[in-house]
């Protein structure tokens, strides 16, 4: 493969993929078709499972430009293969931003020359609405446009659709890329206003729709037939089908019917769940996808269209009563209030699946595989079983040929040993524990849309919490105010609702400096603004549409205090005009202009005018440090920093207020065009508003439980750093004795190396107990979580949030749980109806129980296969086998009953300080499985050999039956001989049947462990009842002969003394199994097992390292992540680095220390740490 033929699409983004071009080859297609016919369709299944083989076997390599089929491979850790068919679209132009009017008719649109040849960008936001079958070239609009612009040569445009995203071929980039919208033009704010604010003509809109598609997040609900085909083509179900056909050929109809019934139930349940999730997602999206909107045309007309017809570049008129935004848009003029619960804050206009909401839906429709060691190890373990089956397969064939067994019998028996070794019921058995855990979670109000994540919850060792609405209450309460006069603080006051303050500038700032508006008569806006305004008790009045149109849109929003707060006015005299008196007595402030809050500036301001005053006033509120920097020095108290620090350390959220009397020359018209920098300068500092965000009462107790379980907790918030630290101390996330170091992290930028500046939040208390707080320039929750994932690879991260602006993090975490049922929370695998974090330990407990159940079931099913494999292999040596009803009794009465009841153990009542193992391939689990296999093998071989040494032993025939039932034998001799043509009835078979049946129950009890992750098995009454009943039944048929049962089970009569010896073998077997599993494994190896697990947890148990190493490592690895995020592939575990840092003389860093990363000169790829004090 030539290097230049390999393309990279979505470079540098989460969906980055390698792309190779292929062209269909007819002779290869013919050969594959012949192979499909010769294999009975099995080759087609293999090619369906392996897209890479499918493409390479039917196509030849070609350039990406000429490709008919593209082969895609993700560049993430999963390295998955995909294929897509390249299609051709006819369009009047090659680029959606071409100005067709300019080229074919007279110029009529203000398109810049650069837009005529705008190359496609390499962003990953998908523009396509319908993910699979929408082809604009197939409909009439394209042909109509081509006829309309007949002078323009129709152009063939190549594209393919993948995961609801269209990738178009770009000649300039020589690659397939995604169209994003106006950001492909790299427009600035000025360009946006000058060139893109007049709207599109209808022709331009139709032309762009050819490329961007319909503006709709179309979640198609697949038909039951399609879902059924996709589910049935799972390799496990194909193997079950093969097994059922084989058993039917061997006349083993009963178990085949049982497996078919179980598979039908499993498939039906899966189809119902998947269909329900599709319908739920479809209904949720469809409810808000299609609305009627008003758009501005280039000729200044307003046209009402469906939102599905919108394209990037359309200008939308938002009605005064509000609307549901059907796209991502930038506000060109006016003001609006946006509910960001669906993350519609992207500045440039996107449509369909390229919107933030669309990308969220795409992440649900096309999730990444679950990367969990248990599932990876399960496939490795299955491969080991397949290898064992291969040995038995060869052994069976060789033995049968040596004994001249008929060919049909050789084929059936050799294939049968494969189905014995790899149990077809394994998927259903593994799913049982997860299904039971999901039901238990539902009973406590936790709903799951991704059941496979339940097992992963059992490995969580770090939980990230959003602050507001998660750890604390949703809203803010006004704790008090502290005014400033003459450069000095007054004493703090409980509220500003006082007569003596009603006409103060402080209260006027609280009443005017906000972005509140009335929607359907109710005040709406930012919750902080609402609390602040409500604390004044003032009234807000907005002009009606009629008043606005009458006064040419100059009617301002007015605020005024209630009459009871105003001081009493002197009585009106008869000589005074009543209207003039009321006008002079009124106290109203009109808001002339708003400068909205900016997260970058950390402030907002307004220009207002008191009724009757000629000069206007400017009011500002924002972050205290920012506001004071814009105030005159003499108006800021000298003890400002100390007062502010006192409040923030108590966990309060502090807002600063400022005022300025504007010059008389600033008229209304001048204010509308003035820059905010001219207004927000030389302000007078008015004081502080102190807001309190109370902790939820459940928060401290839950965090304490998590800490005791060695589960680290992290708060992620955009609030003031000291406020966040105070909340963390109040809830117990940071212990009182710990020293907090704030890390200001700066990524590499403009040739500057990555830096971390360390500063202490307070005086050092305990140098051996450090907590690091990461402070980034971009306070976006998702970025923090992504850094955490890429840096701390040994973490299993849980995320708990309110499901609003943190849904991206909820989706990205190993296990995300939303505390609300907002639309965005559908991205979270778990949703809790309990609006507090008490659901987190419950979820982890159930996850641990489900994980241990999965281990138990997998180990039991592995032992079941091996035990039966040993029995059959030993019997094959004497050309015998287990009888059909013996198989049936073992497979259904013992295995299925035990599997589905041993999974019912509920979770342990509290979280313990250690975690269960994460994979099957670990020392303790392998020791457990291998020792039990050796024990079962040894006792079966002992039984098989010992029975032949008994003095009464002869090769069994009806005439040599030791029970001497001659009359019965003579009567049924012919039938017995005919029925036992497979040599089922013999002493070896009966002895192995008894021993192996007890072995299944022994390993079930040995593996079904309870504490510390599950309730004890004796509390699982269905399992106790099932196992007890089977023990009683087996002991009954062992010591008491029942002819009907013996004939049905094809068991022969054996002497009583041999029955006692078999019972002795069973007792010794049970004793050895229990001894090895409980004494040797659980006690002797316990320290070795869990010492490693404790190292993976950041707790304070004796076996755990000091938290210094753990926390130091977090900052160090985050720095390494920022230095080289793509190339970092650490091989050593984080504890190894923690040990290195523990002996570093420069660690922990001193206050105001800067850690800088610089490339090593020898290779330039690694980084060394330079510390500058």
DSSP structure class, residue 342: G
Which positions ≥6 away from 1095 have C-beta within 8 Å? 1103, 1104, 1105, 1133, 1135
**Separation between Cα atoms, residue 220 and residue 282, nearest integer Å:** 7
**Rounded to an integer, what is the distance from CA 411 to the centroid of its chain?**
47
Match 């039944």 to its residue by tokens: 1033
Angle at Cα 615 formed by Cα 610 and Cα 618, nearest 5°?
75
How far apart are alpha carbons 1130 and 1002 in whole angstroms?
43
Residues 411, 253: Cα–Cα separation, whole Å? 18
Q: Identify the burial level of 412 via C-beta atoms within 10 angstroms of its C-beta, where 0-12 means exposed, 13-18 middle and 19 or more buried.
A: middle
Tokens of 513: 């400096």
Q: CA 867, CA 1000: separation in Å to the nearest integer?
A: 8
What's 663's DSSP letter? P
Annotated catalytic residue within 328, 377, 466, 961: 466
- Give the count of beta carbons closer than 10 Å to the beta carbon of residue 699: 23
Backbone phi, psi, residue 414, to 5° = -70, -40
DSSP-assigned letter for residue 318: P
Element (H, E) at 1027: helix 1021-1039
Q: Which residue has the tokens 């809109």?
A: 205
Report how far residue 484's alpha carbon sits from residue 833's, in angstroms, rounded to the nearest whole number. 45
Is beta strand 589-598 parallel, antiparallel or unpaired with respect to 302-306?
A: unpaired
Q: What is the rounded CA–CA span in Å between residue 117 and residue 607?
A: 44
Question: What would you report as the CA-atom Rg of the chain, rounded to the nearest whole angstrom?
Answer: 37
Q: How many helices, marked H, and strands, marked E, lie in the chain?
A: 40, 34
Give the CA distances from residue 567 to residues 539, 562, 570, 1082, in Å, rounded to whole numbers and listed in that order. Answer: 17, 11, 10, 80
For 1145, what's the count of Cα atoms within 13 Å in the CB-facing half-sphere? 0
Beta-carbon-side half-sphere exposure of residue 409 (alpha carbons within 13 Å)? 15
Handedness of CA 1033, 1037, 1039, 1044 (dihedral sign): positive
Distances (CA, A) of 762 to 650, 1068, 1116: 13, 65, 21
How crowded is residue 238: how many other Cβ atoms within 10 Å of its Cβ?
Answer: 14
Here the tokens at position 143 are 């042909």
Nearest-angstrom CA–CA distance, 626 and 597: 13
Contacts of 752 (CB under 8 A, 6+ apart): 746
Angle at 733 between CA 731 and CA 734, to 5 degrees: 110
Asked if 722 and 649 touch (Cβ cutoff 8 Å), the reply is: yes
CA distances from 266 to 232, 263, 437, 536 (A): 11, 5, 17, 61
DSSP codes joined into one string, 516-566: -EEETTEEES-HHHHHHHHHHT-EEE---HHHHHHTTT---EEEE--GGGS
Instruction: Decide: 746 and 1139 in contact? Cβ < 8 Å.
Output: no
> Token digits for 97?
């931003």
Is 750 marked active-site? no
Kindly tell me the sign of the dihedral angle through the C-alpha atoms of 205, 207, 212, 215.
positive
Collapse the DSSP code of 186 into the 3-class scheme (helix H, G, I; strand E, B; otherwise coil) and give the result.
coil
- Give the bridge partners for 752, in sequence order: 749
Q: What positions carry a catalytic annotation?
A: 466
């Amino acid at each position: 493969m030539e290097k230049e033929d390999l393309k990279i699409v979505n470079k540098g983004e989460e969906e980055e993929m390698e792309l190779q071009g292929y062209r269909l080859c007819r002779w290869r297609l013919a050969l594959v078709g012949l192979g499909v016919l010769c294999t009975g369709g099995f080759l087609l299944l293999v090619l369906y499972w392996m897209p890479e083989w499918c493409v390479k076997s039917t196509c030849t390599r070609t350039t990406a430009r000429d490709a008919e089929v593209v082969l895609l491979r993700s560049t993430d850790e999963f390295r998955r293969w995909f294929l897509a068919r390249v299609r051709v679209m006819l369009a009047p132009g090659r680029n959606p931003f071409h100005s067709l009017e300019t080229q074919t008719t007279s110029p009529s649109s203000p398109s810049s020359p650069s837009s005529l040849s705008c190359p496609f960008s390499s962003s990953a936001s998908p523009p396509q609405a319908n993910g699979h079958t929408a082809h604009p070239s197939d409909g009439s609009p394209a042909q109509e446009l081509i006829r309309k612009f007949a002078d323009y040569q129709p152009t063939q445009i190549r594209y393919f659709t993948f995961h609801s995203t269209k990738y178009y071929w770009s000649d300039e980039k020589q690659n397939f890329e995604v169209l994003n919208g106006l950001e492909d033009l790299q427009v600035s704010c000025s360009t946006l206003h000058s060139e893109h604010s007049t709207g599109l003509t209808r022709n331009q809109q139709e032309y762009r729709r050819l490329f961007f598609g319909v503006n709709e997040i179309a979640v198609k609900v697949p038909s039951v037939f399609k879902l059924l085909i996709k589910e049935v083509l799972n390799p496990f179900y194909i193997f079950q089908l093969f097994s059922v056909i084989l058993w039917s050929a061997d006349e083993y109809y009963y178990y085949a019917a049982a497996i078919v019934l179980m598979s039908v139930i499993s498939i039906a349940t899966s189809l119902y769940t998947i269909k329900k999730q599709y319908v739920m997602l479809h209904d949720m999206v469809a409810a808000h996808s299609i609305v009627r909107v008003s758009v501005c045309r280039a000729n200044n007309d307003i046209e009402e269209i469906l939102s599905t017809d919108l394209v990037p570049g359309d200008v939308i008129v938002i009605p005064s009563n509000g609307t549901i935004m059907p796209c991502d848009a930038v506000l060109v003029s006016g003001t609006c209030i946006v509910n960001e619960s669906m993350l519609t804050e992207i500045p440039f206009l996107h449509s369909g699946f390229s919107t933030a909401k669309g990308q969220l839906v795409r992440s649900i429709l096309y999730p990444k595989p679950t990367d969990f060691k248990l599932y990876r190890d399960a496939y490795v373990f299955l491969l080991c079983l397949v290898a064992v089956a291969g040995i038995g397969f060869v052994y069976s064939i060789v033995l049968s040929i040596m004994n001249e067994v008929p060919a049909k019998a050789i084929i059936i028996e050799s294939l049968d040993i494969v189905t014995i070794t790899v149990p077809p019921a394994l998927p259903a058995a593994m799913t049982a524990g997860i299904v039971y855990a999901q039901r238990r979670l539902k009973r406590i109000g936790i709903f799951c849309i991704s059941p496979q994540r339940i097992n992963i919850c059992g490995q969580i060792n770090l939980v990230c919490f959003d602050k507001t609405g998660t750890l604390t209450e949703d809203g803010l309460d006004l704790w008090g105010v502290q005014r400033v006069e003459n450069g000095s603080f007054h004493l703090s006051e409980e509220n500003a609702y006082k007569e003596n303050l009603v006409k103060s500038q402080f209260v006027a700032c609280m009443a005017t400096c906000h972005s509140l508006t009335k929607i359907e008569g109710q005040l709406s806006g930012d919750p902080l603004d609402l609390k602040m305004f409500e604390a004044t008790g003032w009234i807000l009045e907005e002009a009606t549409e009629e008043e606005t149109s009458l006064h040419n849109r100059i009617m301002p929003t007015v605020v005024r205090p209630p009459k009871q707060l105003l001081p009493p006015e002197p009585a009106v005299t008869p000589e005074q005009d009543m209207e003039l008196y009321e006008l002079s007595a009124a106290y109203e402030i009109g808001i002339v202009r708003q400068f909205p809050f900016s997260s970058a500036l950390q402030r907002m301001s307004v220009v207002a005018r008191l009724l009757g005053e000629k000069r206007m006033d400017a009011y500002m509120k924002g972050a205290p440090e920012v506001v004071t920097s814009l105030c005159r020095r003499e108006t800021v108290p000298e003890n400002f920093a100390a007062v502010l620090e006192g409040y923030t350390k108590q966990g309060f959220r502090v807002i600063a207020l400022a005022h300025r009397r504007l010059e008389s020359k600033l008229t209304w018209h001048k204010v509308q065009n003035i820059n905010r920098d001219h207004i927000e300068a030389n302000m007078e500092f008015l004081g502080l508003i102190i807001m309190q965000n109370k902790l939820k009462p459940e928060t401290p107790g839950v965090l304490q439980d998590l800490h005791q379980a060695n589960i680290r907790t992290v708060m992620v918030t955009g609030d003031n750093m000291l406020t966040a630290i105070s909340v963390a101390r109040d809830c117990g996330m940071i212990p009182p004795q710990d020293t907090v170091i704030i890390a200001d992290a700066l990524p590499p930028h403009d040739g500057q190396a990555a830096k971390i500046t360390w500063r202490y939040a307070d005086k050092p208390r305990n140098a051996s107990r450090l907590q690091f707080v990461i402070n980034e320039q971009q306070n976006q929750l998702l970025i923090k979580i992504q850094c955490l994932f890429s840096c701390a690879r040994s973490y299993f991260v849980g995320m708990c949030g309110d499901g609003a602006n943190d849904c991206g993090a909820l989706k990205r975490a190993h296990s995300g749980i939303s505390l609300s049922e907002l639309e965005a929370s559908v991205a979270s695998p778990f949703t809790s109806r309990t609006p507090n974090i008490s659901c987190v330990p419950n979820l982890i407990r159930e996850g641990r129980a489900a994980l241990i159940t999965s281990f138990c079931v997998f180990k039991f099913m592995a032992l079941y296969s091996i035990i039966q494999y040993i029995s059959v292999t030993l019997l094959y040596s004497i050309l015998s086998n287990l009888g059909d009803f013996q198989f049936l009794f073992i497979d259904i009465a013992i295995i299925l009953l035990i599997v589905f009841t041993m999974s019912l153990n509920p979770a342990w009542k509290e979280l313990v300080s250690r975690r269960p193992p994460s994979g099957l391939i670990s020392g303790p689990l392998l020791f457990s499985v291998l020792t039990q296999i050796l024990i079962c093998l040894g006792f079966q071989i002992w039984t098989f050999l010992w029975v032949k040494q008994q003095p009464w032993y002869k090769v069994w025939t009806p005439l040599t039956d030791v029970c001497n039932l001659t009359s019965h034998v003579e009567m049924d001799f012919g039938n017995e001989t005919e029925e036992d043509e497979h040599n089922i009835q013999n002493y070896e078979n009966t002895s192995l049947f008894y021993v192996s049946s007890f072995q299944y129950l022994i390993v079930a009890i040995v593996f079904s462990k309870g504490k510390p992750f599950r309730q004890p098995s004796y509390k699982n009454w269905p399992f106790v009842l099932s196992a007890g009943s089977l023990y009683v039944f087996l002991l009954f048929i062992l010591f008491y002969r029942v002819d009907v049962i013996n004939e049905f089970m094809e068991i022969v009569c054996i002497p009583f003394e041999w029955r006692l010896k078999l019972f002795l073998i069973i007792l010794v077997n049970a004793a050895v199994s229990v001894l090895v599993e409980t004494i040797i494994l659980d006690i002797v190896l316990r320290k070795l097992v869990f010492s490693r697990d404790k190292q993976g947890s950041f707790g304070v148990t004796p076996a755990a390292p000091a938290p210094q190493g753990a926390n130091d490592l977090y900052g160090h690895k985050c720095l390494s992540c920022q230095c080289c995020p793509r190339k970092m592939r650490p091989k050593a575990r984080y504890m190894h680095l923690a040990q290195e840092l523990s002996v570093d003389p420069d660690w922990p860093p001193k206050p105001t220390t800067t850690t800088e990363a610089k490339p090593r000169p020898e290779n330039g790829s690694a980084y060394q740490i330079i510390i500058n004090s």
